[in-house]
Structure formats: structure tokens, C-alpha cells
Amino acid sequence: MSVAVLGSGAFGTALAISLAGKGPVTLWSRSPEQARQMQETRENQQRLPGLPLPEALSVTDDLDQASQSDTLLLAVPMQKLRGMMSDHAAALRGRVLVACCKGIEMNSGLGPMAVMAETLPGTRTALLTGPSFAQDIARGLPTALTLACAEADLGRDLQAQLTTANLRLYRTTDTIGAELGGALKNVIAIGCGACIGAGMGDSARAALLTRGFAEMQRLAVLKGARPETLMGLSGLGDLMLTCSSDLSRNYRFGLALGRQEPFDRSTTVEGVATAHAVAQLARDNRIEMPISTTVAQLSNGDYSVAEAMRSLLNRPLKEE
Ligand SMILES: NC(=O)C1=CN([C@@H]2O[C@H](COP(=O)(O)OP(=O)(O)OC[C@H]3O[C@@H](n4cnc5c(N)ncnc54)[C@H](O)[C@@H]3O)[C@@H](O)[C@H]2O)C=CC1
Ligand SMILES: O=C(CO)COP(=O)(O)O
């Protein structure tokens, strides 16, 4: 089975580098200029500078060529997934599609599995998610991720196909739990970054992370996830990583909010759009998601971090 990665950002490039250790891999860039540059310099200078592309990795801007592969990894930001798939529906049809994005679509409240099902009905799909920074994967550091696929046999095949020497995949059929874990942790990471950036301390971060995890479980279980999935790599594992590392863009965006510093808005920060989607889902489903809702308001600039924390601390007292 052959594999191609569509989307030549940090994550797509890192996955392609790792997979190239096992055999030929095609990486598709929508930008002819970037594809040419990467082919020539053997490096993704924009997203992963200094990390060489192995010989077995070829970069192209020709989607028809890339989509000859049996398995296509879709490594674009969540809010771009539907548009990218619609633009290239004919080329993607009949392939196995593995979404590699973490988020909830803002207008629909849907995750990547449902967006793929709506855009290309009948397509066989899966999700790759879990704690991993692109830089770590590209450097060949040990990483463990979750491969979620509702079809157990396909999940097993993909697990074998996409596991590499340094990237160990665990599988689950709980696609809802896996995608919500990956989406919701980004929102909490923004909150944790803001808390540290504003000098509120590690104890406050531990409280936000833990109560944020309670929110993640509440929404995920309501949507049909298995609670144990949230305890795994794609939930708690990724939450811990993203809430504690400066390598995370979501966390760094939060830090900038807390420090009242500017932040480059062209950076992919999935948690912002997802926070708004979560706030809407909380209203629609009449559940309490106070930290996620506060992060949505914070990222809009409606609140200062101090006001946000005050409003969270002043909520009615309750059982844990
Ligand atoms: N960077 C990381 O460490 C990790 C990222 N992810 C997830 O991977 C997804 C992608 O993130 P990154 O690669 O880091 O972002 P990035 O900002 O580095 O790259 C995004 C890529 O998507 C491409 N793109 C955007 N719209 C497109 C469209 N309509 N058609 C084709 N290509 C399009 C851009 O040109 C860019 O190459 C996100 O959902 C993120 O949460 C998951 C795990 C780790
Ligand atoms: O998803 C990630 C780590 O698992 C990457 O986090 P950021 O998108 O915050 O950089």
C-alpha cells in the first residue's frame, strides 16, 4: 500500500519524513513554488528549517500524481479541511483518507471525521492524532499516537502501514473520543498559556488543566465518546504535552495573551476557532464548559486574563 501526505506544513512534512524511513512517500504542496523549493533544497524552510528531507520523500504540487497513492494523509488545518476536500473531490474519491488535523469546524460544530463523511460520502476514513510535535517527529524522536478508525480491520491495516521506527501507533475504534480529545486540548492549552503568561503560577495551571480535562470528558461523553479514550494519548496525553511546552503554538498564543504581547496571527492556532465552536456546542447542548467559553472570550479580546480568572473563581461552588 502506498502513502501520500497532502499538506506540506509542519505536521505533514514531519509525517512524510518519518514515513519515508519505510519506503517512498509523496508530499503534496498546494504551492508550486514551495514544492520546487523543497525538492531542490531538501528542506521545508518555512516550517521545519534544518531538518533534512530523506531521499525517499518526493515533493510535488501535482495533486493528481499524489493521489495515486492508496492512503492519503490530510495534514491541513481543521478550518481548511472541507474546502481542500471539496476543491479536490474527484482526485480524493476512492482513496483511504486519514485526517491529521485537530479541531472542530466553526460553522458546523463538526470534527474531521464528520466533515470527511459529509464532503465525500462513502469514503473510508480514519484519524491520526495524539501528543507529538512536528519537530520531534521530524528529528526521529520517539513518539506515540492514536490511529482512530471505526472499521476495525482498516484500522489494523493503517496502524501497520503508518507505524514507523520512531512513531508507534495505538489503534481505537472510538473516533469521536479521539477527535474530541485532540480538538479540545488545544483550547485548554491556550488557557494554561494565558495563566502562566500572566504570572498566575503553576498551581493555577494545574487547576485549569484538571478542570479543563473535566470539560473535555463532559462534552466528549455527551457526543458518544468512550471515557477511557479521553484518558489515553489523544486526550490526557496530548493535553499534558500541549499545556506544558513552549513548542505548542496554542500554549504560546496563550502566553502572549497573558503577557499582553503581540502574536503572529498567521500562525496555525487551532484552539481559537475550536474554542468558539465549543462555546456554541455548550449552549446548544446546555452543558457547562466554563474554561473553554472563557478562552473563546479571551481570544476575542473581550476579557483580560485577570478578569477571566476572576470570573472562573467566582463561579458557584460545587462538588468535584
Ligand atoms: N505542528 C504540529 O506539531 C502538529 C500539528 N497537528 C495538526 O496538524 C494540522 C496542520 O497543522 P500544521 O501542519 O502544524 O500547520 P502549518 O500551519 O504548519 O501548515 C498548514 C499547511 O496547510 C496548508 N493548507 C492550508 N489550507 C490549505 C488548502 N486549502 N489546501 C491545501 N493546503 C492547505 C498550508 O499551505 C500549510 O502548508 C493542525 O490541525 C494541527 O493541529 C497535529 C499534531 C502536531
Ligand atoms: O498538537 C500538537 C501536539 O500534540 C501541536 O500543538 P500546537 O498546535 O499547539 O503547536
Closest CA to 127 of 185, 68, 89, 180: 180
Which 3 state secondary structure label does DSSP give 43?
Answer: strand
Residues paired with residue 118 on neighbouring β-strands, in sequence order: none
> What pLDDT shows up at residue 201?
97
Which 3 state secondary structure label does DSSP give 145?
Answer: strand
Is 22 labelled as part of a ligand binding site? Answer: no
> What pLDDT shows up at residue 302?
85
Q: Which ligand is nearest to the CA of 27?
A: 1
- Considering the segment(s) 3-173 as one domain, its CATH architecture is 3-Layer(aba) Sandwich (3.40)
The minimum-distance atom of ligand 2 relative to the CA of 186 is 9
23-63 pLDDT tens trace: 999 999 999 999 999 999 999 999 999 999 999 999 999 99
Task: State the Cα–Cα distance between residues 275 and 293, nearest whole angstrom.
Answer: 7
Does residue 139's CB lie within 6 angstroms of at least one atom of ligand 1?
A: no
Work out the average pLDDT over 86-108: 98
Of all residues in the chain, what percent carry a pLDDT higher than 70?
Answer: 100
Kindly tell me if the per-residue pLDDT of 103 is higher than 90.
yes
242-294 pLDDT tens trace: 999 999 999 999 999 999 999 999 999 999 999 999 999 999 999 999 999 99
In 28-163, which ranges are continuous DSSP H helix?
32-41, 63-66, 78-87, 89-92, 112-119, 134-138, 152-162
Task: State the Cα–Cα distance between residues 47 and 41, nearest whole angstrom.
Answer: 13
CATH number among 1.10.1040.10, 1.20.120.1200, 3.30.450.40, 1.10.10.10, domain 178-313: 1.10.1040.10
Q: Which residues are catalytic?
A: 185
156-197 pLDDT tens trace: 999 999 999 999 999 999 999 999 999 999 999 999 999 999
Task: Compute the mean pLDDT over every residue in the chain, rounded to the nearest whole number.
Answer: 97
Question: What's the grid cell of residue 81?
Answer: 479541511
Q: Where are the domains of the chain?
A: 3-173, 178-313
Confidence of residue 99 (pLDDT cuts 50, 70, 90): very high
- pTM of the shown model: 0.98
| Residue having the nearest C-alpha atom to atom 26 of ligand 1 | 80
